[in-house]
Each structure stands twice: as C-alpha cells, then as structure tokens.
Structure 1
Amino acid sequence: MADRDAPTEAADKALPPKNVPAKPARAMGTPLASGIAVLTTLLGLIVLAWTILFITKGRFLKHSFERIVAGQTHRQVKVAGDFQLYFAPFNVKFVAEGLTVSNPEWAGKGNFFSAKKIDSRISTWSLITGNRRINWLGLEDGHVDLQWDRQGRNTWTFGEKTSGKPLELPIIRRALVQGTMIRYVDPRMQIEAGIRIHTVEAKDTKFASAIRFDGNGTARGTRFTLAGALLTPNATVSGGQNQLQLHAEGVRTQIDLSGTLPGATEIEGADLHMDARGQNLADVFAVAGIAVPDTRSYRLRSAVTKHDEEWRFTGLKGRFGDSDLSGKFTVAMTEPRIMLTADLATHVLDIVDAGPFIGYNPQASAAGKVVTRAAGGTPRILPDAQLRIEALKNFDAKVHWTVRTVRAESLPISNIELGLDLDDRLLKLSPLNFSMARGTVTSDITLNARRNPVFTDYEIRLSPTPMGTLLAGFGVDQSGTTGTLKARIKMTGVGNSVHNSLSNSNGRIAVIMPKGSFWTRNIQLSEIDIGTFVQKMFEKKLKEPVQINCGLIGFSVNNGIAAADPILIDTQKNVMLGRGGFSFKNESVDLAFRADSKKFSLFAGQSPVGIGGYFAAPKIDVVTPELLSRAGAGLGLAMVASPFAAVIAFVDVGDAKAADCGPVLAGASAQAQRTAKGKPRDDVGKGTTAKSESGKSSADERKKQRKKFLGIF
C-alpha cells in the first residue's frame, strides 16, 4: 500500500498548497526611491556647503585658493587682506583685498596683477561652460602688466607654455573701476603704452555711469595719445550693449572710433564706425609694421568690426590728396605674419597721387620738384626712394585695386587694374594693366625682396595702338598718322629703388610699327630734305600720306646701358636708321637718326638728327656736325667752281636699301635684319650704324658710347 500510494503523494507535493497566501510582489518604486534619496543627499550636501560658504563667506578657503591658483599658474599668488568666495545666491561672489599675482621670471620683478580690492559676481554657469562671464566687477587701484617678449611669450599666458596666446578678456556686463592702470609692452611691434581707467557718473541720463580711459605711449618710436569712454546703458544688466567712444592722436594722424559693443570688454561682433584723417596714410600702417606708399593728406571713413582674428573695414569711402578711394579691407592677426587683404576702387586718380607707387614723394611731386640733382649737377628723374624691405617681413597681402580715370595733362591713361600679392617678401604686381590711347598696357612685375638687393623681373607689353591717337593723347597733333605700334619690355634688374634697379638692368626693349602712314611733312623733315619739303609745300601736298612699310625701335640693355639694336623704319620714300642709346645709370641720352631716300633728291641734308641731354632735360640737335661738314664742302665747291656746284654736296642719289619687314615685325636684333633682297644689312648695328661717319667699327663705337654713358654719375 505504501508503494502504491507513493506517486500520489509525490504529485500532491508538486501542487501548490491550498489556502496558502501568495508571496507579495517586489515594490516597483524602490530604485526611484533610492535615486531620490541619493539626489536628496547631494542636494542636502550642496545646500549645506552653500550655507557654510554663505555664513562664513568662504574666508577659510583663502590659503587653499592661494595654493591651488599658484600651482596652476606657476606664479606667486597672495591675498593680503579680506577674502570671500561663496554663492550669492547663484552667482559666485569673489572678493579679495590686496590680491597680487607675480610676473613670470622673464618679465622681471613686479606683479602681473595687483589690486587694493577686487569685488566680482561671476556667472556660475559660465564657469561650467568656460564662457567666463562676469556680471559685476568692482576694481579699486588695480595694476595690470601686459608684456610680450621677443620669443613670443606673454605675461597673461599661465603655466609652462613657451608661446603666448592672444589676450582674451572675459565678458563683463557691469563694472565700477577706480584708479586702475594698464601697461602694455610689445618689443616685436615696438609698442609701449600706459592706460588709466576710471568710472565716473555720466551726465547723460541715458547712462548710469561711464568707464573712461586715457593714456599715451610710443609706437615704433612715435608718441601717441588716446582717450575715450565706455558708456554703459541701463540695459546692460539684461544683456544690452555698451557704447564706445575713442579718440587717438599720433604720427600726424587723428582717429575717432564710435559705436556699440556687445559687452564692456566684448569686441567680437562690435558695430563700430571709424573716421581717420592725417597727413600721410602710410604713417598709420607703419605703426603695425605694414608698408604702403606715401600719400598726401587724407580722410577715410568706414565701418569696423572684429570676427575671430580679423579686423574688417567695410564701406570704406574717402580721399587721399586729390584722389578718391572706396572699398573694403581686412587685417588678420595671423602667424607668422599679419595678412592684409583689400578690394579697392578709385574713380579719379590724380597723377601726383600716383607718383609714390614708384617712389616719388607726393609733396615734392605736387610742387613740381621730381627732378633731382646728382653729383656733378646732372638732372635725374628716376625715383631713388628705397623699398622698405624690413617692413615686408611683417605682413603678407592680397590687394585688388581698380582706377577708372587718371587726371594728368597729356597722359592718356585710364582703366588701371592692379593685382598685388605679397608672400614672405615676394611681391608680385600681376596684373598691372591700363588703357592708353585705345591700346592696352599689360604688365607682370615681380620684386623678390627675399634677396638683398632686391631682384626685379619686368614684363611689360603694349597691344597694337594707333600712333595718331597716342600722339594726340600726349598733346601732339595727330599729323595724319594712321599707323599703329606695339611694344614689349623684358628686363631684370637688381636694386632697392627704381633708379638702382634699372641702373643694373639687363634685357630688351622693342617698339614695333606695322604698316601705316605719316604726313609727308614729317617724313621729309626727318631727313632734312628741304628741297622736297619746299616742293611739296608749293604743291600743297604736305598732307599727302607717306606709307610706312614697317619699323622697329629696339634696344638691348646691358648693365643699365641701352644700345640701339636696331632702329630701323622703312617707309615708301626712305629708310630711317638710328644709332646710339641711353643710360639708366646717369639718365643721359645720345641718339642720332638719319633718313636715306629711296628716290633722287636735289637738296637733302642726309645728316643725323641728334637727341641728347638727359631724361629730365632732353635736347634735339638738327644742325649736326655732319650737316655743317656737308655745308662746308658745298661752300668749298662754290669757291673753286661755281655757286651751283655747292648743290652737289646736298644731292641724295636715292640708294637706300628697303628692309625685309619679317625680322623687323618680329622685333629681331640688328644681326638678324635683312634687306628686301634677303641680304644682311650693313647699315645697322648694335649701338650704332655699321657705316659710322668716323670710319671706326661698330664695336669701337659701342665702346666709346659706353664709356661716355658711364662717365657721368
């Protein structure tokens, strides 16, 4: 029986017991309750800490504060008097009397910061987020020493960092400052300044108070003064804006800056307006170590704002000298050099104001004193102002400037476009283009100031331009001329001024004249063909055009001496040849032009027309020694034969050799020139005519000419 009932008993044991109460379920709120308990405890501790700090004002944290801050900044930190650090009620209140923070060792003895008393309310949330916002600052007899050194360290970058960070002030909503001095020293920028700051009650009822400041200092050896105010409106308490007024004077310049700041020390996004005026715009840029051309007196206005590391000047309008200027520019405080970018436009540029771009003094130009005197009294016109190489080390630049019209008597220039790119002392003027008498001059000029003296590469091209229009643009009668000309200058030079660079230049200058026409009177007078000229005058055919087949005025430049290579103009009636050259060294000119007729002429001078003197004082010599010699020969014939025999000395048999226009139009050198029959020309040479009147070879003439040019300095 026992065995038979065993399964039943096992089954009964497997079933849940009857009438036994169910086990209670686990309480759902236990984790939440635990969390609440923890949170309550934390809040309680916070409240307790807040209460302790509020009651004690946190004075017991004084030595801990000194030790912790000193360890983090690697400076000596002391609080001589009262110390408070607590929540009131939510902002952190910090009060310290006799607070001092020492300078780093390299800055010498003294303190980076000291104050008789500092009382502040700091936003707790800003401490968490790192925004560093001070809602209230009271500062009494404060002293701040802001210094850079030549290695790039500064006094406000704490820790053991080898390079300094830019100064970033905390956002200050309201402030009451009395007797505070700020010292700023930057040996790299050559700036030293002292600024005094104090708060006064404003008379204007719009403002509760005004923080005024004034100071003085030196910038690159030049003294300046400044004064201004931060006018704090009542709305500042609720996050309003501050109104800034600043007036600065120095380096013959006055600058007024006004507008609004988001906060008393918040420049980012400021809405400011600048009014700058002075005697020379270059003075202002020189303070920042930026080299720009000199100007006459100027006045410029623009909007000013700051974005990150950039100072942006927009809506620029004003004048310099007798020229206008508009556009925008940006100064970026980047490393290792300041970056200047600009997009500028001028409607009318006075030629006097354009002079400084190649080295002329604007005041001297306005007075008509561009011609100087070298040793020996010879006149010079090429500018000798030195390029400021040291300043080019301080900044890079990208500038685009357009000029619509140039105001200049007898100088038909307009539509200038200048692109300037400066990268670590490598200055490129590309493009440098302008319109001239319905033609276009395009230029690419590179100045490599990484080398000393400066190495300059000149590439200048003149597109085909009507000669008549060009002459008219310079105030000369067009004279019935219909021909065109084009030109190219390809040279390199070494020197730190325009004069020095050209004085050591090498390269080639070529002016090419394709087919065209001149008035007869110009052609005949060029060869002193008096007989034909008188004949045409009585026949009223002086305006009869003479065809130009082709022409080339070429010079090869060697060490600043330009020698004719060749000068050859082939016309319908004659062939004009030239010899000689000019010197960039002493600016002297020694050129001679002669024209050989292709047709018989009874009375032709057949002697060169000389051009001598200097760039600043050229001379034209029509009655040359050759003409006098011919006249003497004629006089001798008249004495031994008859008066009519004197005419024989002036007869031109008309044996001039026509030119092959191919090499002429290609701008080829004298050695490549050919006659119309394909034979090498024997009447042109480098620097002289091959058949010189002296009977000497071309090489001898060139040596004599070079000696002459080098003899005057």
Structure 2
Amino acid sequence: MDQGDETQSAADGTPPARRTRALRWARNGAIAILVAIAAIWLVLFVTKGRFLKRPFERIVSGLVERPVRVRGDFQLYFAPFDIKLLAEGLTVANPAWTTRDHLFAAQRIDTRIAPLPLIVGRWRLRWLDLTDASLDLEWNEAHTANSWTFGAQGGGEPFELPVIGRARLVSTALRYRDPRLALLADLDFSSITSRDARIGEAVRFTGDGRIRGTPFTLTGALLSPNETVARGRNRLELNAVAANNRIRMTGTLPSLAEIEGVPLQVAAEGRNVAELLDILGIVVPQTRAYRLTSTLVKRDARFRFGDLKGRFGDSDIAGAFTVDNGAERVHVEADLATRVLDIVDVAPFIGYNPDVVAERGVTAAARATGAGPARLLPDANLRAEGLRAFDADVRYRVARLQSDNVPITDAAVTVALDDGLLSLSPLNFTMARGTVRSDVRFDWRRRPARVTYDFRLGSTPMARLLAGWGVADAGTSGTVSGRLRLEGDGDTLHDSLATSRGRIAFVIPQGTLTTRNVQLSELDLGTFVQKMFEERLKEPVNINCGLVAFTVRRGVAAADPILIDTRKNVITGRGGFSFVTERVDLAFRADAKKFSLFSGQSPVGIGGTFSDPALAAVSPDLLARAGAGLGLAVLAAPPAALLAFVDIGDAQSAACGPVLAGATASEQRTSEGKRREDVGADEDAEREDRPRKKFLGIF
C-alpha cells in the first residue's frame, strides 16, 4: 500500500483489509442476485411458470378473501422483462349471498404486466387479450355490501380497473343486480380492439332486463373509452325502452361502474307518465303523452331529479323531485309548478282517461270507467293498493287553469301520503277573484276508503263566477260564498259521493245581478214578459240576500233551504239531486211582494241528469193557468183572461240574518220574525228507497 492509501485508511478509520473484503462481498452479492434472477427467469421462461398455478390461486385468494381458480392452462413468467400472465378458465368467486357463483369468469385471459408499477401497488397492463369474459355485479338485500368490493363481507376496498395499453376483448358480458330497485340487467359488449392505449370512437353495448317487474331493453356506448382505460373520465350514453317509455341518459362517469354523486342528463318521453313512474313503484293518475328532461344525481339510496322541465298533454311542468329507496317504503319528495294547466289534464285526478275526455267528452270518459249511461261521475278505482306502497310529500302550484267556463288561477296544493293516508291539505285556488280553501282526505287504510271533502268558497263576484252562463259583468255587483263538506266511503269518486253525508251551502249577500239574455235568475216569467214588453230586459235584479243549501244523506241532497229575497220577489226552491243516480229534480218559484198583473207564478224546473240537465221554463202548472184564462175569456170577455195571471203580492220578505248565516230551513224566518212555511227539506228527496215523486207537479 502506498503512502496515499495508508493516509486515507488512517483518515477514515477503516483497516485496509476489511475495506477490501466489504467491496468483494458487495460485488459477489450483486453477482449472486443477478445469477439468481437469471436462474429464476430461465426456470420460469423454460417452464412458463406453470408450477406457480397453485401458489397463484392461494396468494390471490388470500388477497381478495374469496376463492380464485384456474381450470385450464396457466403461465406466469418474464417475457422478457414484463410479467406475462396467461390463464384459461380463470374464475373469481362471488360472496356466498349472491345469486351467481362467480364475480368474474373468462375462458382465456392473456396479458403483459409492467413490473415496476407493482412496487407502488399500481397495475399497468401493457396489453390484454380477453375472451368470453363475464362480470357479475350485485348488491345484497340490505344494500350494505356489493360483490365487487373485496373483503369477507364485501366491506373492503372496491376493485379498480388497471391502466391498459393495448387490448382485445371478445364476447364480454356484464350482469348487474340491485334488489332494492328490483333491478336486473344483462349487458353484452361488442368486441373491442385497442392500440397505444386507444380503443377507438366508442365501446358499444346492448342488453335487457327487468326493473320492478317491468321488462326493458337498452343500447349504449362508452364514448370516451381511451380516457377510461387511462383511469380518466368516461362519457356514457344510454338509451332504454320500458313500458312504452323511451329514456335517454348521458353523462361523464369517474369510472366504469361509478355513478354516485355524478350528474346525469335524463330525457324521457312516452304516452303516459304513470307508466314511467310505475317502474319506480310510484302510483300517479294517468296522463296524456309527455316529454321531460331532468338532471339525475344518485346519492346512496336517494335519486334526485333536478331542473325538471317538460310537458304532459297540453300542460307544462317544472321543478324537482327525489325518490328515496332507503326506507321500508319508497318515499317521494317533490316541488313542482305549472304555468298553464289544461283542464283535460286534470281529468285523471278524478278518475277520467284524459285521452277519452279530449276526443269524446266527459260523459264518454265516465262510461269508459264502467259508469252507466248518462252518468258523469267516474267509477274508476283509484288504485288504493298502489298508494300504500310508497309515501310522499309533494308541493304543486298552478298559475292558471285553461278552461272556458271555470276561471281558476293561483292554485296550490300540498300532498301528503303516509301508509295509505292521502291528504290534499291545503288545496287552495282563486276562482273568479274569490278564494277557495279546501282540504281533501282519502283514508286508504280502510276498505272501502273513507273520503272527506271540505271546500270553502270566499266572497266571489257572480259576474266572473257565472260569466260562462250568461251573467253580465256590467250591472252585476252580487257576490257568493259557500262551503261544501261531505264524508263518504268508496274507492271511486262516484262511490264516495254516493254514500256521502254532510251539507252544501252557498250564501248570496246584498247586490245586483244582470243577465245578457233571459233573466231566469228572477225566475218569474210574468216579470220577464212585463220587462220584455216594456223593453227593460237589461234592468238588474236587486238581491237582498239569498241561500242555496242542501243537506246530504246517503248521497242524496235535499234543498235545505233554497231561499232568495229580491226587491220584488221571494224565490224558493224544493227538491234536490242524487249522487247515486245523478238525477236532478229541482223546482223554483217566485212569489211577488207587490201586485203583478203579468205574473205566471208557476214553478221553473231543473231536471235531467248531471251530464244532461234540462230546464222547464214553461211548466204544466203555467199551461193549466193559461187554459183557465182561455176558458174565462170564452165565458166572459177577453180582459177576464188576465185574472188567471194576477198575483196579489203577498210574499213575505225573508229575515236576512239566518239566510246569511247559512241556517237550515227550520231556522229561517220572515222579516217579521215568523217561521217560514214555504221552505223546508223535502224528506222524499233525501231517501233513495222511497218512490220518486214530482216536485211541485213537474218532472
């Protein structure tokens, strides 16, 4: 050793001999490692690593905590630097709770694995050749575990797709099952070939399945597969057909099977929204053809459809709703609004088919539900069983109802459904500048259902309310208010009203009323003739107070009372109508307060049915009096014929207090405080089991 080496050894404190031995050992160790690697490489290359088949199955099975088997040829070796893996008949078992044995199965898998990324726990496949592969993805019944999350109970880390450089996939299938949604889907992917980490324009697939018992077919594509294989984001396009509904879904997924929290654009169209929502277990009335768009976001068991826009029939719809499958029953929460609601599209909510209403009218629609001839109320069952399958909290607003005769605006309803108890409370709307506040309740927990109707009409101008029936705006200052409260039992609108009991009352305070044509509101033909002769047809009728009220028992409404006090007359009415048979049998007459020369004083009747009412302005009583006048003219002189039409004017004015309070007939009084004898509930009108009689000699 020269002086320099000795000086260096002395400086670092290492004896020269020991340093030399350390270098020799390091060199020999490196050579040994290289020789061992070469030997292993050579052994694996010569044997193709087939002897590692059982260790491979054992090690991988331990890692994923489920059996992994290779039933055919197996190769695992370096070729030359990448790891080659070939396995025929490779299967990865599913957890015991699934309906299929294998999560993954392939007739043949041949791949090259980059070794260096494995050191940091990442998989990079330089190329992959997969033949006749199938992947089965399932959730358990409680939705707490899935088959693709490895672990003893499916609660470990989910499987992630590796990065793939080149690939060729032939006859690949995927099956997805979700018991919570009652969903089963089978997809078949077209053959895929990729080079340099690029697959091409799209990976397309077709499939079919069932959701809540409804079969469906679908087609779709992964529109950015090159980003998917590079662990990027994937653009999905899906088209499905189910129960006459066409659904299109597009969006960008973070991975192949991940939709949690991802906004997806959904467009749907079909002939009936009820058929679409029935797929999700939600029962709604039938609609006409619809077209909707929305943004769907899934979070756990909640599916939120936001930015909803579209049309059903001739009406628009907007808002958002959420479907929650996490509880025992599906729960729906919605906030919806309509600018213009066509009255035909309201028909399904009371049991009519809207298409039949639009094409042939309400009577034909009622007949289509099973109602008898000339019936108007539908006999359609409102699907009580379905209403016990889900719960709901819905808020719905309508700016305007499109109708020729019903001026309704600013409608709003809150719908609550809890285990078959359906409440529409409050159900409010503006009708002819008057406010209707109502509550409707259907108790489907009992059969037949118990139904309660409670409608309260605030002070409403008659000119607007009755504009479609000939009432003129100019010269009409009268208003009307009222309440309808009925309770009945039935699973259809007709049955619930046909068994109803309660009261209907409309109050008319002081005001005037003018009609555009015939003044039947006065109901005094003599006054009408007199005004016609004097050319004062447009003179308003001066109303002091009025009450039109009915007591309802067993679906039959009897006048209790009908009493209108005007400046010249006291108008009373008898009779009633029936929700059971839908027949109307009402008679009105006016008694003059003052002497009237041309006063027929004969009743005016309203008869027929709800669907075809009839007005008898000239009654048999009037004809008989005209005949008496003719006889007197023959026996005496023509002026004597007028005596048959003379009214001495003895009508007693009504006390307006009980009238405006909506009191029953027994509580009505004259202006002098005496009990009225000319009004009263007709007992025969209240009983369907009694023989029908003609009120006041008409109908």
Report the TM-score when normalising by structure 1.
0.77
Look up the match of 2:71: 80
Look up the match of 2:16: none
SS in 1 for 2:286: coil
Look up the match of 2:328: 336
**Letter in structure 1 aligned against 2:305:** F
Structure 1: unaligned runs, 5 residues or longer? 1-46, 689-698
Counterparts in 2 of 1:483 and 1:303: CA distance versus 1, 3 Å: same
SS in 2 for 1:360: coil
Counterparts in 2 of 1:261 and 1:670: CA distance versus 1, 3 Å: same
Q: Find the aligned partners of 1:231 and 1:224 in 2 and give their Cα distance.
A: 22
- The one-character-per-residue Cα deviations of 1:183-232 (angstroms, maximum 9, x if unpaired) are 45678866554322345248999865744321123446654210112234
Look up the match of 1:172: 161
Look up the match of 1:141: 132
SS in 1 for 2:596: coil
Look up the match of 1:115: 106
Structure 2: unaligned runs, 5 residues or longer? 1-32, 694-699
Matched, 1:513 2:508: yes
Look up the match of 2:299: 307
Matched, 1:648 2:639: no
What are the equivalent positions in structure 2 for 1:349-498 lying under 5 Å apart?
349-372=341-364, 378-472=373-467, 476-478=471-473, 480-498=475-493
Determine if contact 2:262/2:297 at 8 Å carries over to the other structure. yes
Counterparts in 2 of 1:210 and 1:240: CA distance versus 1, 3 Å: same
**Letter in structure 2 aligned against 1:654:** G
Q: Find the aligned partners of 1:343 and 1:431 in 2 and give their Cα distance.
A: 15
Q: Find the aligned partners of 1:259 and 1:450 in 2 and give their Cα distance.
A: 42
SS in 1 for 2:465: helix
Look up the match of 1:317: 309
Matched, 1:558 2:553: yes
Q: Find the aligned partners of 1:548 and 1:364 in 2 and give their Cα distance.
A: 42
Counterparts in 2 of 1:258 and 1:156: CA distance versus 1, 3 Å: same
Look up the match of 2:337: 345
Shift of 1:541: 3.9
Match of 1:291 among 279, 283, 286: 283
SS in 2 for 1:579: strand
Counterparts in 2 of 1:376 and 1:707: CA distance versus 1, 3 Å: farther
Q: Find the aligned partners of 2:333 and 2:325 in 1 and give their Cα distance.
A: 12
Determine if contact 2:139/2:147 at 8 Å carries over to the other structure. no
Q: Find the aligned partners of 2:162 and 2:196 in 1 and give their Cα distance.
A: 19
Shift of 1:113: 5.2
Percent sequence identity over matched residues? 49
**Letter in structure 2 aligned against 1:575:** V
Matched, 1:251 2:246: no
SS in 1 for 2:345: helix
**Letter in structure 2 aligned against 1:305:** V
Determine if contact 1:520/1:543 at 8 Å carries over to the other structure. yes
Q: Find the aligned partners of 1:383 and 1:706 in 2 and give their Cα distance.
A: 25
SS in 2 for 1:313: strand
**Letter in structure 2 aligned against 1:493:** G
SS in 1 for 2:223: strand
- The one-character-per-residue Cα deviations of 1:130-154 (angstroms, maximum 9, x if unpaired) are xx99877986433455678999999
Counterparts in 2 of 1:448 and 1:529: CA distance versus 1, 3 Å: closer
Look up the match of 1:626: 621
Counterparts in 2 of 1:370 and 1:122: CA distance versus 1, 3 Å: farther
**Letter in structure 2 aligned against 1:367:** E
SS in 1 for 2:496: helix
Q: Find the aligned partners of 2:282 and 2:113 in 1 and give their Cα distance.
A: 41
SS in 2 for 1:633: helix
Counterparts in 2 of 1:489 and 1:309: CA distance versus 1, 3 Å: same
Determine if contact 1:331/1:339 at 8 Å carries over to the other structure. yes
Determine if contact 2:146/2:154 at 8 Å carries over to the other structure. no
Look up the match of 2:9: none
Q: Find the aligned partners of 2:285 and 2:116 in 1 and give their Cα distance.
A: 52
Match of 1:266 among 258, 268, 281: 258
Report the TM-score when normalising by structure 2.
0.79
Determine if contact 1:383/1:499 at 8 Å carries over to the other structure. yes
- The one-character-per-residue Cα deviations of 1:95-123 (angstroms, maximum 9, x if unpaired) are 86534466788977865654335679999
Match of 2:670 among 664, 667, 675: 675
Counterparts in 2 of 1:635 and 1:268: CA distance versus 1, 3 Å: same
Match of 1:663 among 639, 658, 677: 658
Look up the match of 1:597: 592
SS in 2 for 1:371: helix
Q: Find the aligned partners of 1:658 and 1:165 in 2 and give their Cα distance.
A: 85
Q: Find the aligned partners of 1:659 and 1:619 in 2 and give their Cα distance.
A: 29
Q: Find the aligned partners of 2:116 and 2:622 in 1 and give their Cα distance.
A: 100
SS in 2 for 1:318: strand
Counterparts in 2 of 1:476 and 1:677: CA distance versus 1, 3 Å: closer
Counterparts in 2 of 1:522 and 1:475: CA distance versus 1, 3 Å: closer
Shift of 1:485: 0.4
Q: Find the aligned partners of 2:264 and 2:291 in 1 and give their Cα distance.
A: 17
Determine if contact 2:182/2:213 at 8 Å carries over to the other structure. yes
Match of 1:573 among 563, 568, 585: 568
Q: Find the aligned partners of 2:114 and 2:570 in 1 and give their Cα distance.
A: 92
Q: Find the aligned partners of 1:325 and 1:167 in 2 and give their Cα distance.
A: 44
Look up the match of 1:685: 680
Determine if contact 1:527/1:607 at 8 Å carries over to the other structure. no
Determine if contact 1:272/1:305 at 8 Å carries over to the other structure. yes
Q: Find the aligned partners of 1:203 and 1:343 in 2 and give their Cα distance.
A: 50
Counterparts in 2 of 1:395 and 1:521: CA distance versus 1, 3 Å: closer
Q: Find the aligned partners of 2:62 and 2:322 in 1 and give their Cα distance.
A: 42
SS in 2 for 1:427: strand
Look up the match of 1:34: none
Counterparts in 2 of 1:682 and 1:187: CA distance versus 1, 3 Å: farther
SS in 2 for 1:482: coil
SS in 2 for 1:172: coil
Determine if contact 1:62/1:79 at 8 Å carries over to the other structure. no
Q: Find the aligned partners of 1:123 and 1:340 in 2 and give their Cα distance.
A: 51
- The one-character-per-residue Cα deviations of 1:468-525 (angstroms, maximum 9, x if unpaired) are 1222256643362211001211111222222222122221111111111124999975
What are the equivalent positions in structure 2 for 1:210-289 lying under 5 Å apart?
210-219=202-211, 222-236=214-228, 239-289=231-281
**Letter in structure 2 aligned against 1:328:** A
Shift of 1:94: 9.7
Determine if contact 1:174/1:232 at 8 Å carries over to the other structure. no
Q: Find the aligned partners of 2:546 and 2:217 in 1 and give their Cα distance.
A: 63
Q: Find the aligned partners of 1:419 and 1:537 in 2 and give their Cα distance.
A: 51
Q: Find the aligned partners of 1:83 and 1:669 in 2 and give their Cα distance.
A: 95
- The one-character-per-residue Cα deviations of 1:313-348 (angstroms, maximum 9, x if unpaired) are 222222222222222222222221222222222222
SS in 1 for 2:360: coil
Counterparts in 2 of 1:222 and 1:643: CA distance versus 1, 3 Å: same
SS in 1 for 2:679: coil
Larger CA deviation: 535-544 vs 243-252: 535-544
Counterparts in 2 of 1:623 and 1:541: CA distance versus 1, 3 Å: closer
Shift of 1:683: 1.3
Determine if contact 2:100/2:136 at 8 Å carries over to the other structure. no
Larger CA deviation: 503-512 vs 394-403: 394-403
Q: Find the aligned partners of 1:214 and 1:80 in 2 and give their Cα distance.
A: 29
Look up the match of 2:604: 609
- The one-character-per-residue Cα deviations of 1:355-380 (angstroms, maximum 9, x if unpaired) are 22222212112213321376996312
